[in-house]
Amino acid sequence: MAWNEPGGGNDKDPWNSGDKGPPDLDEAFKKLQQKLNGMFGGGGSKGGGSGSTDISAGFIGLILAVVVVIWAALGIYQVGEQDRAVVLRFGKYMDTYGPGLQWNPPLIDSKYIVNVTEERQYQSKGLMLTEDENIVELPLTVQYNIADPKAFVLKVKNPELSLQHATDSALRHVVGSSKLDEVVSTGREKIGIDVEVRLQEYLDIYGAGIQIVKVNIQEAKPPSEVKEAYDDVIRAREDQERVINEAQAYSNGIIPEARGRSQRIIEEANGYKAKVIVEATGEARRFESLLTEFHKAPEVTRERLYLDAVESVMSNSSKVLVDIEGGNNMIYLPLDKLTQPRPKAIDSSIMSESSIREIADEVVKTLRRDQAAARSSTREAR
């Protein structure tokens, strides 16, 4: 008899262990769902189809909270000491933030961090045509930084590309207004200053927010086809500068010396002039005084003048010859022997006062005899 045959006993069912029926799988799933709902704080669904699951409101809230935390964390960022953050909200400028920890809502705000203290460089090189229609290759370096972060981010689409174009334009304008000699050697510094000023004007017109720090004009080079001729010109110019410097140095050494000599001659002439004037004034006053004395005693004054003249002549003579009246002999006074070791002139300090007086007395006696003889002959004639 089969185990499930009617009328059979329950003891013949191999699945029956004393219960009334087999276990219900749907009931087991419901209990598991209730336990999960209890864990998340929600109530279970009272009905549902087979294999379907219900997501509780608590589970959704947890997911939303996690998403919000992640979204908020993504909005935190750090702005460095050298940087500035330009913030846009829905594409419209909102603010510029300085250094520190900042937060902006992601997907709503967009930020652009710009380094405003870094000194950047841009190098350029190209063939330029000068004012005198010469071609020159001129490299340069532009040093710049960001002065206005807002303008740098918003005003120009590509500010650094605009800087390159403005540099080429300013350089060609300045070089095109200069001659070759100025570009190659003497005027490079001035060209750099002019390019810097004009380039800054262009950038200010663009509103690029870039500040030019320095424009360095490097060594200008001619095209390779004419490089040798340019080198000859440069060497000739250097030789010219060297010769000019040497001439200037020679001039600086000669002119002050000549001025010193001329000033010395002028001072000597002024001194001689003053001396002559003083001596002439003294002689004039002495003559006036002598004239006064002459009017008082003519004979004495005349004899005194004669003696002074004889003394002056004899002091400058090394030999004296005295003519003796009534004879053909002349007295020789060896004054040259008395003045040794200076034979060419008589020094009055060497001769003694007594010797001079003896000579003077002898001369006076002779003169008086001559005068007496002349008077006697005059009387006889009368």
| pLDDT per position as a tens digit, 289-309 | 878 888 888 888 888 888 888
The secondary structure of residue 222, as a DSSP letter, is -
Peptide bond into 341 cis (omega under 30): yes
Q: What is the structure's pLDDT at 332?
A: 55
**Mean per-residue pLDDT for 312-333?**
63
pLDDT over 70 (residue 21): no
Q: Taking a C-beta distance cutoff of 8 angstroms, is the pair 109, 88 a contact? A: yes
Give the predicted TM-score (pTM) of the model: 0.45
pLDDT over 60 (residue 335): no
Q: What is the structure's pLDDT at 244?
A: 92
Sign of the torsion formed by the C-alpha atoms of 272, 275, 281 and 284: negative
- What CATH number does the domain located at 120-221 have? 3.30.479.30
pLDDT over 60 (residue 9): no
The band of 7, judged by pLDDT with boundaries at 50, 70 and 90, is very low
Q: What is the structure's pLDDT at 267?
A: 92
| Position with higher pLDDT, 281 vs 338 | 281
Closest CA to 115 of 85, 88, 141: 85
Measure the CA–CA gap between 318 and 342, rounded to whole angstroms.
9
**Exposure string for 235-254, b = 16+ CB within 10 A, e = fewer:** eeeeeeeeeeeeeeeeeeee
Structure-token match 């006053």, residue found: 285
Closest CA to 220 of 175, 157, 257: 175
The band of 243, judged by pLDDT with boundaries at 50, 70 and 90, is very high
Provide the mean pLDDT of the chain: 75
**Mean per-residue pLDDT for 133-138?**
80
Domain assignments of the chain as residue spans, ordered by start: 72-115, 120-221, 242-296, 299-381
**Exposure string for 31-45, b = 16+ CB within 10 A, e = fewer:** eebeeebeeeebeee
Question: 111 CB contacts (<8 Å, ≥6 apart)?
Answer: 77, 85, 86, 87, 88, 102, 104
Q: Taking a C-beta distance cutoff of 8 angstroms, is the pair 44, 32 a contact? A: no
Q: What is the structure's pLDDT at 216?
A: 86
What does the block give as tokens for 245? Answer: 């410097």
pLDDT over 80 (residue 323): no
Assign 3-class secondary structure to 287-306. Answer: HHHHHHHHHHCHHHHHHHHH
pLDDT over 70 (residue 325): no
